[in-house]
Amino acid sequence: MLSFNVRGENIEVTDAIRSYVEKKISKLEKYFDDSATATAHVNLKVYSDKTAKVEVTIPLPYLVLRAEETSPDMYGSVDLVTDKLERQIRKFKTKINRKSRERGIKGMELTVPEAEALPEESMQVVRTKRVSLKPMDSEEAILQMNMLGHEFFIFEDSETNGTSIVYKRQDGRYGLIETDE
């Protein structure tokens, strides 16, 4: 079940706009099971050149869905962003189903120790994650990283069989770190 947080910048969010946004984005609920609850954060912006930008973020336990679209029409931007989110969901579900059929899904262990009062200069690890590296190419790793909303992603390079890391650079492009093995 989706709840909504609709905000406007340089525009008043009228009941008609809010209703249209909720109606369109609610159509995405068919892709989730009934127990899933999430808040769709919707930002509506109108610029001086009369274009409208719609940004939608839906954080879920296993991924973060994000999309934004700009067009001359606010309602058109909502339609475009909804279509983009639907494509992301279908792509993610198809990929997960294919991967689980190929090899089965391996679990991820997450350990979070209790918080302690530590001096700021301490170099102590406060959280540990254990992951199973999946063989893939760098393009698939970038896709996974973006689907998860992370700044980096570690994976087993299917071409070199080595451990590699893709990361998002400050200029918006991507970097690849390969290990010597």
Residue range 126-173, pLDDT digits in tens = 778 787 788 888 888 898 888 877 889 999 998 888 899 999 988 889
pLDDT at 110 over 60: no
Rounded CA separation 95/17 (Å): 34
**Which tens digit of pLDDT belongs to each residue from 28-37?**
888 776 666 7
Domain 135-178 falls in which CATH fold?
A: SHC Adaptor Protein (3.30.505)
Mean pLDDT throughout 51-58?
A: 91
User: Are 39 and 7 a contacting pair, CB within 8 Å?
Assistant: no
Instruction: Name 160's Cβ contacts closer than 8 Å, sequence gap at least 6.
Output: 178
CATH superfamily of 3-103: Ribosome hibernation promotion factor-like (3.30.160.100)
Intervals of CATH 3.30.160.100 along the chain: 3-103
pLDDT at 34: 64
